[in-house]
């Protein structure tokens, strides 16, 4: 049954964010928290979650409730994983490794970013079968193919191909702080870093961050020159579905396309043979006028059908948000920023595990409140205003007349 861990000081991801804000230099915190443009999409991601009410069912025996789910043939402890995040070691050297370790120990997926500063092979030794790899196909197809081969050799079974950065985003906070490539930190940024000696000390003692997943493919380049080179490679305005078809042919295991917001694209992804999609606006970090993934999710589920695995990210901050996502048609969710704030607030050994446990405890608590013994029971009938459920879930409840409730849109705005 859900238990608060006794030695923990922080009980919500919001609290972790508040502590992280104090611990991290402003430029690093802004890099993580910030979004594109006026940050409308970042706000929208949260607002749309908060609008969704879930209606509990009373008197359903949930004494054996569990958060476990099966995804791509594997049993996971909960229906969520850690989203890919480049430059995560900016929080603290060793962040990628610490997240991977916690994911392995607590049996959730860890998605290593192309832009991580730790190599696929190093993380594979830690995360083992819980490792997924995220690929930016980028401009250089040969380089992407080399990364796919490395992921294959490392035994990765799920490849996540991110398609929502046709061009680098305009992130105003990073521009103001001088945290852009080439790096030109403002005087304010330099002074602020000096005011965070603990962060500075760890950064100075740790390995110098380098683009570890490109070291092999572009030997010789390191440090900033490397980061600049790689950032030019990652975005690609010329990317098209033919390129995705070639990736599908090259990748024999589970393939997930990340950054889908349009139902038509979800349909194409399914037709192309993708096993799943991540409905995502990149945490509001790319297109500022993008819709929140949670509000397009019902249409995407309707377009994609029941066979395509739908993963959602962007703005998930509580167990209730996970339940809301599953009720609206997602099979699984990813969280990004909360894990980095967890590391900043509680350190490498406690932060990642505490963040996973907060999400898992909250989800279990929510499931039991709703009268759901497992995440798979959640469907649209838990939404208010009442919705018709998915066919399979309806069959599970004989005698319940769904006709009594008039179908209405899940989220109105
Ligand atoms: C610091 C940071 C770095 C990110 N780097 C990547 C990346 O390298 N590849 C990718 O596909 N998404 C990247 N993302 C987006 C996340 O994978 C995910 O879509 C997003 O963080 C989800 O929103 P949330 O942070 O509100 O949970 C990054 C996000 C953050 C915050």
For residue 351, report the distance from its CA to the centre of ligand 1, in Å.
18
Q: Whole-angstrom Cα distance, residue 234 to residue 259? A: 14
pLDDT of the chain, 413 residues: tens digit per residue: 444 444 568 999 999 999 999 999 999 999 999 999 999 999 999 999 999 999 999 999 999 999 999 999 999 999 999 999 999 999 999 999 999 999 999 999 999 999 999 999 999 999 999 999 999 999 999 999 999 999 999 999 999 999 999 999 999 999 999 987 667 888 999 999 999 999 999 999 998 777 888 865 455 455 666 666 777 788 899 999 999 999 999 999 999 999 999 999 999 999 999 999 999 999 999 999 999 999 999 999 999 999 999 999 999 999 999 999 999 999 999 999 999 999 999 999 999 999 999 999 999 999 999 999 999 999 999 999 887 765 444 444 433 433 333 333 344 33
Identify the structural domains of the chain with CATH numbers, from first to last: 13-376 (3.20.20.70)
Q: Which of 20, 36, 82, 86 has most ligand 1 atoms within 8 Å of CB, for mutation?
A: 86
Residue 396 CA, ligand 1 centroid: distance in Å = 37
pTM score, two decimals? 0.93
Strand partners, 111: 132
Determine the distance separating the centroid of ligand 1 and the alpha carbon of 392, expressed in angstroms: 33
96 vs 397: CA distance, rounded Å: 44
**Ligand 1 pocket mutation pick from 279, 282, 325 by most atoms within 8 angstroms of CB:** 282
Cα-to-centroid distance, 259 and ligand 1 (Å): 10
Q: What is the residue with the minimal CA distance to atom 13 of ligand 1?
A: 85
Tell me the HSE value of 323 on the side-chain side, using a 13 A CA sphere: 31
Q: What is the dihedral of CA 169, 330, 333, 327, to 10 degrees?
A: 120
How far apart are the two ends of the chain, measured CA to CA in Å? 37
Q: Sign of the C-alpha dihedral, residues 126, 132, 134, 137?
A: positive
Q: Which residues contact 154 (CB under 8 A, 6 or more apart)?
A: 120, 121, 124, 131, 133
The set of catalytic residues is 282
The helix (run of H) or strand (run of E) holding residue 53 is strand 53-54
Could you tell me where the DSSP H helices lie in 235-382?
241-250, 263-272, 293-304, 319-327, 337-370
Rounded Cα distance, 105 and 362, in Å: 19
d(C-alpha 16, C-alpha 342), whole Å:
6
Which protein residues are within 6 Å of ligand 1, measured from CB?
32, 83-86, 113, 115, 134, 162, 258, 280, 282-283, 285, 313-316, 335-337
Distance 231 CA to ligand 1 centre (A): 15
- Choice from 14, 336, 343 to test ligand 1 binding pocket (greatest atom count within 8 A of CB): 336
């Amino acid at each position: 049954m859900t238990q608060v861990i006794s030695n923990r000081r922080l009980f919500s991801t919001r609290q972790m964010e508040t502590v992280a804000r104090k611990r991290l230099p402003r430029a690093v915190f802004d890099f993580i928290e910030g979004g594109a443009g006026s940050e409308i999409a970042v706000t929208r991601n949260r607002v749309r979650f908060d609008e969704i009410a879930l209606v509990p069912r009373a008197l359903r025996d949930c004494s054996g409730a569990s958060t476990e789910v099966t995804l791509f043939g594997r049993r996971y402890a909960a229906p969520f994983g850690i989203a890919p995040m480049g430059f995560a070691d900016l929080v603290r050297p060793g962040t990628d490794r610490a997240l991977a370790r916690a994911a392995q120990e607590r049996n959730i997926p860890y998605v290593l970013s192309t832009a991580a500063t730790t190599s696929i092979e190093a993380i594979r030794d830690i995360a083992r079968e819980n490792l997924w790899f995220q690929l930016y196909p980028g401009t250089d197809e040969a380089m992407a193919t080399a990364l796919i081969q490395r992921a294959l050799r490392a035994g990765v079974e799920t490849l996540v191909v991110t398609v929502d950065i046709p061009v680098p985003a305009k992130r105003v906070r990073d521009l103001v702080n001088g945290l852009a490539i080439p790096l030109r930190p403002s005087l304010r940024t330099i002074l602020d870093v000096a005011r965070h000696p603990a962060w500075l000390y760890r950064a100075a003692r740790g390995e110098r961050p380098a683009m570890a997943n490109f070291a092999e493919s572009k030997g010789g380049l390191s440090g900033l020159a490397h980061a600049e080179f790689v950032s030019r490679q990652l975005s690609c305005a010329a990317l098209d579905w033919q390129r995705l078809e070639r990736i599908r042919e090259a990748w024999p295991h589970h393939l997930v396309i990340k950054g889908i917001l349009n139902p038509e694209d979800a349909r194409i992804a399914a037709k192309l043979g993708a096993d799943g999609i991540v409905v995502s606006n990149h945490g509001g970090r790319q297109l500022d006028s993008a819709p929140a993934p949670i509000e397009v999710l019902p249409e995407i589920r309707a377009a994609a059908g029941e066979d395509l695995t739908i993963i959602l990210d962007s703005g998930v901050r509580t167990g209730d948000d996970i339940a809301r996502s599953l009720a609206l048609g997602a099979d699984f969710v990813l969280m990004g920023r909360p894990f980095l704030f967890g590391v900043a607030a509680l350190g490498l050994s406690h932060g990642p595990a505490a963040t996973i446990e907060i999400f898992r405890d909250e989800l279990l608590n929510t499931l039991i409140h709703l009268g759901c013994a497992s995440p798979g029971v959640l469907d649209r009938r838990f939404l208010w205003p009442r919705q018709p459920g998915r066919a399979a879930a309806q069959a599970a409840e004989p005698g319940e007349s769904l006709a009594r409730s008039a179908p209405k849109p899940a989220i109105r705005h």
